[in-house]
Amino acid sequence: MWDQIKSNRMRSAVLVMFMCLLLLGLGYVIGLFFLDSIIGGLAIAAVIWAVMSLVAFFQGDNILLSIAGARKVSKSDDPQLYNIVEEMTIASGLPKMPDVYIVNDKALNAFATGRNPEKAAVTVTSGLRAALNRDELQGVVAHEIGHIKNRDVLLMTITSVMLGAIVIISWYATRVMFLTGGGRSNNNRNSAGPQAILMIIGLVLMILAPLFAQLIYFAISRKREYLADASAALYTRYPEGLASALEKLGSSVTPVKAANKATAPMYIINPFAKRNAINSWMSTHPPIADRARILRSMSGSSLADYENAYGRTHDGKHILPKSERV
C-alpha cells in the first residue's frame, strides 16, 4: 500500500512541477514584453504562486467548506453518519477522525478536504444522505477517507492554486497585450522581426497555458479516483456498496449549487448536471459506469483484486505499481 501511495506521489509531483514551469513561463513572457525585465516577470509569477499556496495550505479547507456552505455536525446530530466515519477511520488507520460536515443541497455528492490526515474533513450533501442506504453511504465515506489517507486532498488543493494563478496571470496578460499593442516598444528596426515572433509565441503561451494546466489538473484527479475506489473496497470489504452508490449518484441530474470548475475535481463525481458517459480526456472524473464495473468485477476486496478487475476492464492495463501486483 505504501509503495502504491509513493508511486502516485511521484507521478503527481512530476505533473505539479510541470505546472510550476508553466507558471514561470508565463512570468517570463510578462517580464519580456511588459516589464523589460525577465527576472521581474518571474518574480511576479513566483510571488503570486507563493501567496496563493500559503493561503491554500493554511486556510484552503476552511475556504472550500465555506464556499460549499458546509455545516459541521456532531454525533448527536447524525449518529449513523458519525459512526460510519468513525468505522472507516479505524479501518483506514488514520491517526485522527476527520470532522463531519453536511451541505444543504439536493444534489447527490461528497468531498473531502484538509491539508493532512490530522486536519481533515468529510462532507456529504443532504441529498446524498437521504438517498443512500448504510452500505452505500459507507462506501462513499470510505472513498473520501481514501483520498485523505493517500494525501490526495492536499495535492488537489495545491494544484488548484497553481491553476488559479496561471488563469489569473494569463487573463490579465492577454488583455494588457491587446490594449498596449504588444508590450514595451522597441525602436530598433532590426529587432522587429524577432520581437514579432516572440510576441506571437508569448501570446500563444498565455492563451494555451490555462488549458494545459487544467488538463493536467483533471488528469491528476482521474488517476486518483481509481485509487480512492480501491481504498474504499479495502476499508469496507464490500465493493458493491460503493458501486451501488456511484450508480445512484450518476443517475442524479441535480447539480451541486456551490460547485465550480476549480472545485469540481474535489467531489466524488462530476458535480455538474451534464456528465460524459465516455472517458473523455476533458472530464474531471472517470466514467461512473466504468468505476462501478471495476468494483463489481472484483473477486475480493484487496488492492490486488482491484488491480485484476481494472486490468480486465481496461485491456490488461495496470493502475497499481509493480510491487503491488499479484
Q: What does 29-79 look like in DSSP terms, one character per residue? A: HHIIIIIS-HHHHHHHHHHHHHHHHHHHHHHHHHHHHHHHTEEE--TTT-H
* Options 136, 144, 225, 324, the catalytic residue: 144
Local structure of 150: helix, strand or coil:
coil
Cα 255 from Cα 272, distance rounded (Å):
5
Find, among 8, 15, 9, the residue nearest to 321 by Cα.
8
What contacts 90, CB < 8 A, 6 or more positions away?
A: none
Cα 250 from Cα 246, distance rounded (Å):
6
The yes-or-no answer on residue 144 being catalytic is: yes
What contacts 303, CB < 8 A, 6 or more positions away?
A: 1, 4, 230, 234, 320, 324
H-state helical runs in 69-191? 79-92, 126-131, 134-149, 152-180
Local structure of 188: helix, strand or coil:
coil
| Contact status, residue 109 vs residue 271, Cβ threshold 8 Å | yes
* Distance (Å) of CA 183 to CA 45, 46, 152, 174, 229: 17, 21, 40, 10, 49
* Distance (Å) of CA 73 to CA 77, 92, 101, 102: 6, 21, 6, 7
Q: What count of other Cβ atoms lies within 10 Å of the Cβ of residue 37?
A: 14
Q: Which residues are tagged catalytic?
A: 144
